[in-house]
């Protein structure tokens, strides 16, 4: 595994962690809360955002307008069954999700969830580092690179690892601040 490959994979891991953070509720309406919702549309799981227009008319409401009016009930059912934790209100043409203010206990749970996502991201980055170091050591054993080159590459890899774990930590601090802000 080359250093550039490792860096690219680490960058993707940070982006994945950011997407995971976006699915956590902060008390404000955000259409990315529904990113993981899958609707059983004609027998196949389909992302909600492919089936409906999702908007946020105000800070406490998410409006879901299915492109196909006949799918309104299955979209409502999918939201109810998802882990979003919101009750959909169906008025016959659109679905409204009202975002209630977060309780302090719920905020603490969401902070823990964010910390769990951040730890998963850090573990993924450390796994990338481990795989890259194994690759470097194999090259050294096969006499493709010198011991000094091996050490230099491992040092560079550690610097990359530190950079991307720090980025995940920054994202976690931002998310915790979002969640804790009343």
pLDDT digits (tens, 9 = 90+) for 65-99: 888 888 888 888 888 888 777 788 888 888 888 88
Q: Tell me the longest C-alpha to C-alpha distance in the chain.
A: 70
The mean per-residue pLDDT over the stretch 20-33 comes to: 77
What is the distance, to the nearest Å, from the Cα of residue 44 to the centroid of all Cα atoms in its chain? 23
User: Backbone phi, then psi, for 45, in 5-degree steps?
Assistant: -65, 125
Instruction: For residue 28, give every residue at least 6 positions away whose Cβ sits within 8 Å of its Cβ, in sequence order, or none.
Output: 59, 60, 99
- Answer yes or no: are the C-beta atoms of 35 and 49 closer than 8 Å: yes
pLDDT classification of 15: cutoffs 50, 70, 90: very high
Class of the 31-98 domain?
A: alpha beta
Sketch the domain layout of the chain as residue ranges: 3-22+103-180, 31-98
Q: Looking at residue 55, what is its pLDDT?
A: 87
- Which tokens go with 19? 């997407």
pTM higher than the cut 0.85: no
Class of the 3-22+103-180 domain?
A: mainly alpha
- Answer yes or no: are the C-beta atoms of 161 and 131 closer than 8 Å: no
Q: Looking at residue 1, what is its pLDDT?
A: 64
pLDDT classification of 182: cutoffs 50, 70, 90: low
Which of 38-42, 85-89, 141-145, 168-172 has the least mean pLDDT? 85-89
As a whole number, the mean pLDDT across the chain is 87
Describe the chain by its helix, strand, coil percentages, rounded to 5.
60, 15, 25
């Amino acid at each position: 595994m080359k250093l550039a490959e490792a860096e690219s994979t680490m960058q993707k891991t940070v982006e994945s962690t950011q997407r995971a953070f976006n699915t956590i509720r902060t008390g404000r309406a955000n259409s990315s809360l529904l990113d993981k919702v899958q609707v059983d549309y004609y027998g196949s799981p389909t992302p909600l955002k492919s089936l409906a227009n999702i908007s946020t008319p105000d800070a406490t409401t998410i409006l879901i307008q299915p492109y196909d009016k006949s799918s309104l009930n299955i979209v409502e059912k999918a939201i109810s069954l998802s882990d979003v934790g919101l009750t959909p209100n169906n008025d016959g043409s659109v679905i409204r999700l009202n975002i209630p203010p977060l309780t302090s206990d719920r905020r603490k749970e969401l902070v823990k969830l964010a910390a769990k996502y951040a730890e998963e991201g850090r573990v993924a980055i450390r796994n990338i580092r481990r795989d890259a170091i194994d690759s470097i050591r194999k090259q050294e054993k096969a006499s493709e690179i010198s011991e000094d080159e091996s050490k230099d590459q491992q040092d560079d890899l550690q610097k990359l690892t530190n950079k991307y774990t720090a980025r995940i930590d920054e994202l976690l601090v931002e998310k915790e601040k979002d969640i804790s802000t009343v």
